[in-house]
Amino acid sequence: MNIPKTDLPRVVIIGGGFGGISLAKKLLKLKLQTVLIDKHNYHTFQPLLYQVSTSGLEPDSIAYPLRKIIRSSDCGYFRMAEVTEIDAENQLIHSNIGEISYDYLVIATGSKTNFFGNKSIEENGIWMKTVPQALNIRSLILQNLEQAVITDDPEERKALLNFVIAGAGPTGVELSGAIAELRNNIVAKDYPDLEPSEMEIHLIEGMDRVLPPMSEKSSVKAAKFLKELGVQVHLSTQVKSYDGVLVETNTDVSFRTYTFIWSAGVTGAPVKGLNASALIEKANRYEVNQFNQVNGYSNIFAIGDIAVMESEDFPKGHPMVAQPAIQQGSHLAKNIKNILNNKELEPFKYFDKGTMATVGRNRAVVDLGKINFGGFFAWFVWMFVHLWFLIGFRNRLVTFFNWVYNYVNYDKAARLIIRPYKKPYNKINESQEL
Ligand SMILES: Cc1cc2nc3c(=O)[nH]c(=O)nc-3n(C[C@H](O)[C@H](O)[C@H](O)COP(=O)(O)OP(=O)(O)OC[C@H]3O[C@@H](n4cnc5c(N)ncnc54)[C@H](O)[C@@H]3O)c2cc1C
């Protein structure tokens, strides 16, 4: 990997997500060699991916170059690589660009989309975990609208104008609300040949309420907001299959659609090589102790989505959201410093800063412990928090400007098909090529 040998201890971090960069920023200030590895050369602010998918923001507003973080120290290195295996016995990791040894290894590889073994959804659906995937959704939505304008087959038109989202967690709720706003504010103006009411947005949820991880009150409010925006919510309904055209469920409801977005679950993204006892098989995540040490290893740590730290307050581990990753990253930096100074390790304690989700313009819900609120103030809080945590001053400024512009003009500036999306399996594939 062309990283100079050093007498300093070497910490290798796999993953430049929320956990990885929170840790790296702190380690870069210590007398250490810090090596950050990620398969992308940028950090992705996943909470705003849905705005890229729905033309609200350009992708470069929510991505941040990892080298810009590392360059603050002479002892910091970044390598763009996919780590393929860990050889704990020899303290080595293998990647697609070579191998590197470590004194301390931190696994911060996050999670990936979970299809629960359903091949038809994996092969034919579309999902959103990375910037390229968000751009795929943006292109697909816009391509389908363009196609709907020219088709004279009513069945085909219906499939092109039906947008179906599975999973009413924060991602599904935010996506369906944003697609509804695209219909309500943009389609009517940009596509005079289409009748906006022909465009239907269906949100399918297996549980009996939207936003299952949030309070009942927030669920009720979010469901009301979705209804106001014209999203059709189908509760206690599970998707059985999607063949590229037809979504079948466990009820008698089915949908013809060329846009089926799967946002119904994630699972850990572990790296091959550690002992079986390190991994909680069902969750595909590493079991860690209160110091983030992976079960069975003293110099291998895991943080963020990939780690399950069981405690009295969180018997199944912390929620798979950004805050535990950020807090564990920064806490682990302290513990690595403690190790180097022969001090005792300090247990991690999670500080829950609350949960929120936005449904659209002036509509959001916030749970702060036992307090919950919704509407304009919650939406304002949501925007402030997301701007605050967005990485990079430029990104904050551009995002803020975009939001103000969109708010004032009821517009979404980024509705561009830059890189057309091709579904290899979709039967309208050829005709969709633009
Ligand atoms: C669409 C979406 C919306 C979300 N919305 C919210 C929200 O509103 N609020 C909230 O708190 N949380 C939200 N989350 C969850 C939040 O983004 C995650 O909990 C958080 O990103 C976890 O941080 P992490 O550091 O563990 O992993 P990540 O941020 O996922 O980072 C993992 C990194 O590891 C890299 N990587 C993975 N495997 C390898 C490998 N083998 N080799 C090299 N690099 C590798 C990846 O490229 C990635 O950069 C959302 C997630 C998604 C997908």
pLDDT in tens, 292-329: 999 999 999 999 999 999 999 999 999 999 999 999 99
C-alpha dihedral, 221 to 226 to 229 to 234, nearest 10°: -150
How far apart (Å, rounded) are the C-alpha atoms in residues 50 and 181? 13
pLDDT at residue 431 above 70?
A: no
Q: What is the pTM of this model?
A: 0.94
Same topology, domains 10-39+81-113+267-340 and 119-264+361-432? Answer is yes
Distances (CA, A) of 321 to 128, 136, 176, 303, 356: 15, 23, 20, 12, 11
- What's the rounded mean pLDDT across residues 361-390? 93
Domain 119-264+361-432: assigned CATH number:
3.50.50.100
Strands (E), 271-340: 279-280, 285-288, 300-302, 307-309
How far apart (Å, rounded) are the C-alpha atoms in residues 88 and 124? 38
360 in ligand 1 pocket by Cβ < 6 Å?
A: no
What is the pLDDT of the chain when averaged over all its residues? Answer: 93
Nearest one of 9, 21, 19, 25 to 103, comparing CA atoms: 9
Percent above pLDDT 70 for the chain:
97
How far apart (Å, rounded) are the C-alpha atoms in residues 418 and 193? 23
pLDDT at residue 31 above 80?
A: yes
pLDDT band at 411 (very low <50, low <70, confident <90, very high): confident
**Nearest ligand 1 atom to alpha carbon 329:** 25
Q: Can you give the pLDDT at residue 212?
A: 94
Instruction: Give the pLDDT confidence of 99-121 residue by residue, as tens digits.
Output: 999 999 999 999 999 999 999 99
- What's the rounded mean pLDDT across residues 199-218? 96
H helical segments located in 151-187: 154-161, 170-181
Most ligand 1 atoms within 8 A of CB, residue of 1, 39, 46, 263 to mutate: 46
How far apart (Å, rounded) are the C-alpha atoms in residues 35 and 299? 15
Q: Can you give the pLDDT at residue 428?
A: 46
The end-to-end CA distance of the chain, in Å, is: 40
83 in ligand 1 pocket by Cβ < 6 Å?
A: yes
Q: Can you give the pLDDT at residue 430?
A: 43
Q: Can you give the pLDDT at residue 432?
A: 39
Q: Can you give the pLDDT at residue 424?
A: 56
Q: Can you give the pLDDT at residue 427?
A: 43
pLDDT at residue 398 above 50?
A: yes
Instruction: Give the pLDDT confidence of 241-281 residue by residue, as tens digits.
Output: 999 999 999 999 999 999 999 999 999 999 999 999 999 98
Instruction: Give the pLDDT confidence of 328-354 residue by residue, as tens digits.
Output: 999 999 999 999 999 999 999 999 999
Class of domain 10-39+81-113+267-340: alpha beta
Q: What residue segments make up the domains of the chain, in order of their start? A: 10-39+81-113+267-340, 119-264+361-432
| CB-facing half-sphere around the CA of 282: CA atoms within 13 A | 2
164 in ligand 1 pocket by Cβ < 6 Å?
A: no
